[in-house]
Amino acid sequence: MKLTNSSRWKRFIQKDFTPYLVFAIPLGFLVIFLFWPLITTFLRAFMGSGAKLSLSNLGVSNFSKFLTSPLYQKSLRNSFVLSFSVVIFSILLGVPMGYIVARVKLPAKNLILSLGILPVIMPSFVGAFSWIILMGRQGVARHFLQILLNPLGITIPTIYGMFGMIFTMSLIYYPFVFLLSYSSFSSANPLLEEAAMLMGAGKWRIFWTITFPLILPSLGAASLLVFIRAIGSFGIPAIIGGEQYVLPTLIYFRVNGFWDLNGAAAIAVVNVVITGAVLIFQKYVVSRRQYETISASRSEQKLYTHWAARLFGGLFCLVILIVSLAPQITIIVMSFFEKWQGLLPEGLTLANYKRIPQVSRSELGNSLYLSSVATLFTAILGSIIAYITERRRPKGAAILDLAIMAPFVLPGTVVSVALLSAFSGNALIPLGGTFTIIIISYMIRRTPYVYRSVVASLTQLDPTLEESSTISGANWFYTFRKVSLPLILPGIISGSILTFSTLLQELSTTILLYGAKTRTVPIQIYIAVADGKMGEASALSVILLIVVFIIVYVMNTFQGNKMVNSFKLG
Amino acid sequence: MSLSLRYESVDKIFDEGSKHAVHALKKVSFTIEPGELFCLLGPSGCGKTTLLRSTAGLESITAGRIFYGDRDVTTIPPFRRNIGMVFQNFALYPHMNVFENVAYGLRVRKMPAADVKNKVTEIMELVGLQDVLRRNPSPMALSGGQQQRVAIARALVYDPDVLLLDEPLANLDAKLRRYMRAEIRRIQKATNITTIFVTHDQEEAMAVGDRLAVLRDGIVEQIGSSDELYNQPKNPFVANFIGKMNFFNVVVTGLTSTSVEVVLADGTKLSVDKKQYRSGEDLSKGMELLVAARPEHLGVCKEKKDPSLEGNVTIIQHLGHIVRYEVKVSLTSSDRTLEIDMDGMVPSIMEKDSVRVVFDEKKVALYTKEGLI
């Protein structure tokens, strides 16, 4: 006996419709502000430069530039060389450091871990410009090293160009590799290695046949993270790239120099295709080796205690930490001086700070306003979408998951180009130069942080808790308020804090979207650096550093040292 | 006032229309009496949990109707059904203390604070947790047995029409499980709320339930009291699921007005009372049947007796109140190792010995082969 139509109808109207209403809004947002811009970008990429958005103008002239223009070819090659080199150097720095900190008895490990994460949570363009102070043409460290090495006939290259970009980025992004391989090395079950030892394997053999294969998945995830950051980075190539263009700076060049959105869209498409290819490679080649450790019991990690291991391990970590944190220290020193071009800075002063309220008041206000509003909306959007995909498991949840994570791998400049393509000029909804378009771009880029964080809380939240509430007579909204929300709140908060602290330093998206009234602090710093006002840039950066540091410090005490996981992908 | 609970040809198909459609419930129809403690029993995947979740409204059924008393609740969402449910993992809210956990359903019903307090105190006394309520800790700080009681109290506090227990004892250790099943029966009888208890453990079901339903592949195989199911199972599946049953392949050689003459593959002849034939099909000469014997309806001995069968002892297990002999006989007689329970050790019999398996002809039953897994 099938249900009759009338009872189907009865069941329909008896249903609780609040969830569907609540779910419709974020889905609408995604369609309008993510899918639509991405589609227009894709279409624009096939329109000749300056052509109207119309199907009759389809063509591949934008892409053929990659075959004809030396600038395009060079940029593409630079992006490749830069990203892969940064991945390799990050692994060379991060894996040994992770192994040492995990397996060698060292003092102050927690401090090493906390200092190790600093480079990634600090604005990357700050790192870039402080390397100019250290290693630029008049650079302090370069000056100093030159005196030492000149008799040997070695000249130190300046920081400008490919070498500088690889150097700076590796030092900024190695913590991903370091922290993820540290956590794999320290959480690997020592019984597995002990079993290999009992079967007669030597230390070297154990490392290559047991220890290393087990951390491969983590290493793959970390490398992917570094690659995505490196290929999408705008600030570092813009500040120290010099003549060496990469794809994100090329996009900026097309938009800012020629207002050629169609050309920029084509570069963006190429950029995304490369990132996507690497992502798929990682997913199908590396992730497939994910191992479930089968074990009933585990024992404590045995640490190396030999003095030589401790000495060389300690020195290795110390050197990396000092070099990678040198920019932050330089910036703080610089902010109190007028100039720093010889060995020592000159002209101790507070003027750099005193000037901030006059020249940067509106920028500080804008940064705070944009970041907090965007964080608020991101938190709501990310939480609801996480709830839908995780709890309701609608048909196409996988597509939703993919859509929400896509901006995570999209370079900031690409997101800007997409939004400009859809909403600038005489678009249906004109948003060019408004606060709204920046907020939307921030939401699109940071929703993955909140989303992942909430999904993680939700997977730990047993669905029977919600069912049990329903059984007790509570409707969907009551259950959500009293049971689901309180239990996923920690996830929402940590995702939001991460969002807020990264938005305060956001440059690559804002750079294409800001107008006279919507300048933010990172933009101001970028312009100050371009004008050579290092003092002003440093003082602003120090303020940014302090704010971000406080936020992250609070968050770390709040949820333990798991922050690097929030950056992780899939 | 307790309500009856009635199922009318309930069907549930998961992913209907897709390639992976699973027919979880097939035309399930039966009635649970008011105030009854009713067990749903069956192997995993038999549909017992689906039937329970459909009763709660957590799953919508594909066809058929479900009634609480005279009220058709088929289309009513779970939060308007007034039911109590205890989940396998208890599903206590970790962010609320014990009092708030128990009071949850009352808060949903907007009961005044003073009444909430009275109700919670009353129900916590019933489940024997007055002391815990006084300390009022987080439920996570309680032992498994205490969490179980809190979960039961939470489900009972708002006087539900029906109480649903989804494998409530599965997460407890063996000793506590035996204790709690008696407690559950005591609490259920004290409140007299119509209750469904889902389990895959036949011993638990027999100990707790007023009546049991045995499910297999979405079909109710048999409903009855523990005694009926153990002593009069309708088919070989129920027979072997409720307790252990040994089966022997036989052929009917003769029929009298009161008894059935059968012969085993090795020529051993048995004469079984016609009343012990439990399948529906008409008997005829030459028909292949199964002789079913509980472990206590068989015996082992060294000397040849009639009727008996040759076998080899593989394992002897001393279980305290009985001694279990596992005996292998020729595959044509019985394709599985026999389990035979004796009241005590037979001193002359060792493992690997060749023995005679004797039958208690008055107790063994006959089935057609249908339904044997």
Instruction: Count contacts between A and B (CB, < 8 Å).
Output: 80
B84 → closest Cβ in A471, A478, A486: A471
Q: For the segment B240-254, what is each residue's pLDDT rounded down to a tens digit?
A: 888 889 999 999 998
Neighbouring residues of B212: CB distance < 8 A, sequence distance ≥ 6 = B38, B39, B40, B41, B205, B206, B223, B224, B225, B226, B229, B242
What's the rounded Cα separation, in Å, for the pair B206 and B222? 14
Neighbouring residues of A505: CB distance < 8 A, sequence distance ≥ 6 = A122, A123, A124, A126, A522, A544, A548
- Give the closest residue to B35 by CA, choosing from B156, B210, B208, B184: B210
**pTM (predicted TM-score):** 0.77
pLDDT of residue A54: 65
* Shortest distance, CA A287 to any CA of chain B (angstroms): 28
Q: Cα(first)–Cα(last) distance of chain A, in Å?
A: 45
pLDDT of residue B372: 65
Interfacial B residues in 25-84 facing A (CB < 8 Å): 56, 58, 60, 62-64, 74-80, 82-84
Does pLDDT of A455 surpass 80? yes
pLDDT of residue B164: 93
pLDDT of residue A55: 65
Rounded mean pLDDT of B2-30? Answer: 89
- Give the closest residue to A346 by CA, choosing from A138, A128, A137, A126: A138
Q: For the segment B198-224, what is each residue's pLDDT rounded down to a tens digit?
A: 999 998 999 999 999 999 999 999 999
CB-based contact A93:A178 (threshold 8 Å): yes
pLDDT of residue A141: 78
Q: For the segment B27-54, what is each residue's pLDDT rounded down to a tens digit?
A: 999 999 999 999 999 998 899 999 999 9
CB-based contact A500:A371 (threshold 8 Å): yes
B63 → closest Cβ in A3, A16, A473: A3
Does pLDDT of A206 surpass 60? yes
* Cβ contacts of B102 on chain A, cutoff 8 Å: none
- Give the closest residue to B32 by CA, choosing from B163, B180, B144, B194: B194
* Cβ contacts of A393 on chain B, cutoff 8 Å: none
Neighbouring residues of B270: CB distance < 8 A, sequence distance ≥ 6 = B250, B261, B262, B263, B264, B291, B307, B359, B361, B364
* Shortest distance, CA B301 to any CA of chain A (angstroms): 44
Cα torsion B154, B160, B162, B164 to 10°: value is -10
Q: Do B76 and A486 touch (CB under 8 A)?
A: no
Place of tokens 């003549």: A243
What's the rounded Cα separation, in Å, for the pair B105 and A161? 67
Q: For the segment A513-522, what is each residue's pLDDT rounded down to a tens digit?
A: 888 888 899 9
Assign A567 a pLDDT band (cuts: 50, 70, 90): low
User: Which residue on chain B is closest to A488 by alpha carbon?
Assistant: B95
pLDDT of residue A24: 79
